[in-house]
Amino acid sequence: MIFRKSLFFTLFIVILASCSRNYDKVFKSNDIASKLTLADELFAKKKYDKAIPLYEQLLTVLKGQKSVDDIYYKYASCHYLNKSYELAAFYLRSFYTTYPANENAEQAAFDEAMCYLKQSPRFSLEQTSTERAIEAFGEFVRRYPNSKLMEQANEKIDELRAKLCKKAYESAYLYYKIGQYHAAAVALETFLKDYPEYDKPEEANFLIVKSLKKYADDSYKTKQAERIDDEIKAYENFKQKYPKSEYLAELEEMQKSINKIKNKIK
């Protein structure tokens, strides 16, 4: 049994060394056909790290020739499939803008957007990659309006916007939690304009009124009348938008307090 295992291990090492020698031989040779054949074999076997240097050689040698576009696509795809998303995004864009008539151009544009999506972090972190992904999917939709990938692209845009929406809301709500009530009201109003698809606008508008009430309460008397007027205006707008809101009872109690302060100021 030990002998058999030893034999298999020896055979494995011999085969591995043989493959390595063959790769080195092709890599150092000037045989373009052999390089392309081996690169494609490695691509099919998902050995992208090995395929990339061969495709790079071929792109240098065949630069400007008609056959180079398919090689370039596989080269860009190697980076994407190898999860080198920054490089992949660069090469995929270069490919589909240089060869827009190639049958793989559409897929390359979609995959470029996917590169940014795959780099998009959880909502609480910085969202540059998320914004780039939305921009890239939007560009894809405009560039290929009849694409079979259109539905997926729009779904990805919605998914990414939902992440930005959550981050924007949490950032605005943070102002409220730490007692920065004017900043909270402004941020929440901006948030509702930027994300009209938000599924709880009533709650956000309620927080705007509460923020303005607390801001008015904490103001100097010289500024209080103006800020009370802002709160009353927001309250009236809320009542008009949500006449049956569950928040109205609480807001009406708040208005009694606001009216008492307003009467004292007069």
Over the stretch 169-210, which tens digit does the pLDDT of each residue have? Answer: 999 999 999 999 999 999 999 999 999 999 999 999 999 999
Asked if the structure places residue 68 within a domain, the reply is: yes
Least confident of 11-15, 166-170, 209-213, 258-262: 11-15
d(CA 52, CA 72): 10
How many Cβ atoms are within 10 Å of 101's Cβ, its own excluded?
A: 7
* Judgement on whether residues 124 and 210 belong to the same structural domain of the protein: no
**Residue 55 CB contacts under 8 Å (≥ 6 apart), including other chains:** 39, 71, 74, 75, 78
Burial of residue 125, with CB atoms counted within 10 A of its CB: 0-12 exposed, 13-18 middle, 19 or more buried: exposed
DSSP character string of 131-168:
HHHHHHHHHHHHH-TT-TTHHHHHHHHHHHHHHHHHHH
Whether 58 shows a pLDDT value over 50: the answer reads yes
Whether 10 shows a pLDDT value over 90: the answer reads no
Res. 265 pLDDT band, cuts 50 70 90 = low
Structure confidence at residue 29 (pLDDT): 84
Structure confidence at residue 249 (pLDDT): 92
* Judgement on whether residues 235 and 135 belong to the same structural domain of the protein: no
Structure confidence at residue 20 (pLDDT): 63
d(CA 215, CA 158): 34
Higher pLDDT, 119 or 264: 119
CATH of the domain at 95: 1.25.40.10
pLDDT, averaged across the chain: 90
- State pLDDT tens for residues 66-115: 779 999 999 999 999 999 999 999 999 999 999 999 999 999 999 999 99
Give me the mean pLDDT over the 46-50 stretch: 96
122: tokens are: 């959880």
Q: Which domain holds residue 156?
A: 27-171
Structure confidence at residue 15 (pLDDT): 45
d(CA 259, CA 165): 35
Give the percent of the chain with pLDDT over 90: 73
Residue 86 Cα to chain centre, angstroms: 13
CB 237, CB 195: distance < 8 Å: no
Hey, what long-range contacts does 243-252 have (CB within 8 A, 24 or more apart)? 245/202, 245/206, 247/202, 247/203, 247/206, 251/206, 251/209, 251/210
Q: Quote the number of domains for the chain.
A: 2
Higher pLDDT, 217 or 138: 138
Higher pLDDT, 154 or 222: 154
Whether 222 shows a pLDDT value over 80: the answer reads no
* Judgement on whether residues 61 and 129 belong to the same structural domain of the protein: yes
- What are phi and psi for residue 147, nearest 5 degrees? -70, 145
* Judgement on whether residues 157 and 37 belong to the same structural domain of the protein: yes
Least confident of 42-51, 107-116, 134-143, 219-228: 219-228
**Residue 138 CB contacts under 8 Å (≥ 6 apart), including other chains:** 157
* Judgement on whether residues 98 and 216 belong to the same structural domain of the protein: no
Structure confidence at residue 19 (pLDDT): 52
Asked if the structure places residue 18 within a domain, the reply is: no
**pTM, rounded to two decimals:** 0.84
d(CA 190, CA 82): 40
* Judgement on whether residues 203 and 265 belong to the same structural domain of the protein: yes
d(CA 183, CA 71): 54
Whether 36 shows a pLDDT value over 70: the answer reads yes
Q: Which helix (H) or strand (E) holds 241?
A: helix 221-241
- Of 106, 139, 171, which one is at a domain's C-terminal end? 171
- What are phi and psi for residue 131, nearest 5 degrees? -65, -40
Asked if the structure places residue 97 within a domain, the reply is: yes
Asked if the structure places residue 166 within a domain, the reply is: yes
Summary count for the chain: helices (H), strands (E): 12, 0
* Judgement on whether residues 81 and 111 belong to the same structural domain of the protein: yes
205: tokens are: 């508008």
